[in-house]
Amino acid sequence: MRFIYKISLAVLLFLAFQSCRKSFETDWDLDIAAPIARSKLNIKNFFSDTLFSSDPTGLLHLSFSKKIAGFQLDSLVQLPDTVLDYQFAMLPNTKLYLPPGNSIPGFPQTQEINLTLSGGVELRSTIINNGLIKIVYSNSYTQPLEFKMVLPYTTKYGLPFTINEIINPGTNNLAKFYDIGGYDVKLTGMTLSKINSLVQTIDVKVPSFAQPDTIRGGQGVYTQISYADLVPYYVEGYFGQQNIDLPYDSVALNISNNLQISNFQISSAFINFKIVNEFGVDINAQLSNIKSVNTLSSTAITLNASGLSNININRASKTTGFSNPIFPTIKTVSVNTVNSNLKPFLENLPDYLTYQGKIVVNPFGNISASNDFAFLGTGINIYADVDMPLQIRADYFKLVSYSTIDLTTVKQIDNINYGDIVLRCTNGFPFNAVLQGYILNDQKQKIDSLFNVPGNVIKEGLVDMNNIVISTSYTELRIPLTQAKLQNLKLCKSLQFVSQFNLPPQPPDIKLLDSYNLDLVLSLDINYRARKK
């Protein structure tokens, strides 16, 4: 009944005032009868943030998909920040006349940097998406020194990553940053058979424009080399046998919002738990503590479905496309009203689901021969696809809503002599509707009701022996604007609306069809005193 909520009495009174506003020489009364608005409601107005579909018979299904858990590459593999302090200098207690163009003795030299990765990860290669190498230089020699660093197995377009810098004498803590994004890095060491091993070659020489001089022990270039904030686009190797916890969490469903249903029962339903593996690793998923929580009724029901406790999912595979580099593997576990307690789980009409679990990476060990892989932006995601045919039983639906409507400043209320707000209803549903609204003051206390009891019932449509509506019914409801009610309206700060939809006693399953509607026409029928300016 959201249509009713959206039509404020303040708007109605304003329209009434405007319709007879003109220049008068004397006071006079007007009879005003006019439709204000019209709307059609269907079963979708009982719910919020949901997706409905109908099957070939016209039966509505409450169906939606929610992501309930997931993680991406950074939870699986992280390239560590690495800080290295180097002294590229003459050996102690030595000296050497060093002409321009010559390297310091012992250079160039090649080194392996062994990266320490968590989780037992053993990488053979990676492509860097973004990251920096920071080098802080100092030169203790009397002449400029040329510093050259080459990463021979770190390439872009076939060319190795290279740094060439002239470090002037006496320069301390000169910081330089170098972008390493887009480089393809082999982490197999100098022998191309290791893991987590980056190769770098360093050369320190006197540039050709320098003056010849004698270099002594300890003189040379001092550096601090930092590999920082490296984000991989691609990683390959063996990702270890990691246990990744899915911590206790919740996901909002919003099946109901201020909706109460008494003795709600469904005939069938299913939830497909879909695990999408976009990593090139085998995994084992274990889901637990899945509960449907209804905050309105303060009830929580745990889902009992054995098929969720041990789910093996094969690894994804690669494609040849850059925009879609993987074929994910999808494993679906179907939970229905036969193999679980899904019936009471969904009949609880949850506001949200809770869950927790665990993902075991490579549960069978290194069966890929170190060919695990993962791309940036991919991950492991778990979805819950819910489908609930709206063939139901219930005692009643009750929808409670509030509307902030401040009538305390509407002066035109004093000019209404008498009349009605009229609601004309054509009901195509197989159940009646009982409507009520309450005037609330600034303390949110009920000071009056809108509809008179029992004259607040919208009669149900005419049904056949299968409870299918074969014709609609018409009902007219009136809100009498007595002087007492008008005085209470002047104290109104907000309205509470309660709409109760009563199903037949002890009914068979009632099918809610997409053709069912409640047609509402709101009209104003008042006698209004128009005053001269």
* pLDDT digit string, tens, across residues 224-238: 999 989 999 999 999
Say if residues 256 and 299 touch (Cβ distance below 8 Å). no
Q: Is the pLDDT of residue 19 over 90?
A: no
> What was the pLDDT predicted at 137?
94
Q: Is the pLDDT of residue 183 over 90?
A: yes
Report the range of poorest mean pLDDT among 33-42, 228-237, 474-483.
Answer: 33-42
> Residue 369 gets which letter from DSSP?
S
Would you list the DSSP string of 471-522? E-EEEEEEEE--HHHHHHHTT-SEEEEEEEEEPPSS--PEE-BTT--EEEEE
More confident: 147 or 411: 147
> What was the pLDDT predicted at 2?
43
Strand partners for 433: 458, 501
Q: Is the pLDDT of residue 5 over 50?
A: no
Burial degree of 238 (CB within 10 A; 0-12, 13-18, 19+): buried
Calculate mean pLDDT across residues 401-411: 76
The architecture that CATH gives domain 61-70+246-389 is: Sandwich (2.60)
pLDDT tens, 322-366?
888 999 999 999 999 999 999 999 999 888 899 999 999 999 999
Give the percent of the chain with pLDDT over 70.
90
Calculate mean pLDDT across residues 65-72: 90
Calculate mean pLDDT across residues 82-102: 89
Both tokens of residue 368?
């890929």
Global pTM value: 0.79
- Residue ranges of the domains in the chain? 2-58+394-530, 61-70+246-389, 78-238
> What was the pLDDT predicted at 172?
73
> What was the pLDDT predicted at 524?
75
Calculate mean pLDDT across residues 428-434: 90
